Amino acid sequence: MHVFICPDYDALSRKAAALVADLVRAKPGAVLGFATGSSPVGLYQELIRLHKEEGLDFSGVTTFNLDEYCGLQGDHPQSYRYFMNENLFDHINVPKEKTHVPSGTAENWRDSCEGYERDIVAAGGIDLQVLGIGSDGHVAFNEPGSSLGSRTRRVYLTKQTIEDNSRFFENAADVPTSAISMGVGTIMEARRCVMVVNGANKAEALAAAVEGPVTSMNTASALQYHPDTWLFCDEAAAANLAMREYYGWIAKQMEADAS
- By annotation, the residues acting in catalysis are 67, 136, 138, 143
How many C-beta atoms surround the C-beta of residue 107 within 10 A?
A: 7
Per the CB < 8 A criterion, the answer to whether 197 and 132 are in contact is yes
User: In this structure, what DSSP letter does residue 218 have?
Assistant: B
Q: How far is it, in rounded angstroms, from Cα 216 to Cα 229?
A: 18
Among 37, 5, 1, 42, residue whose Cα is nearest residue 20: 42
- At 210, phi and psi to the nearest 5? -85, -40
Q: How far is it, in rounded angstroms, from Cα 110 to Cα 131?
A: 24
Burial of 178 (0-12, 13-18, 19+ CB in 10 A): middle
Among 243, 254, 214, residue whose Cα is nearest residue 19: 254
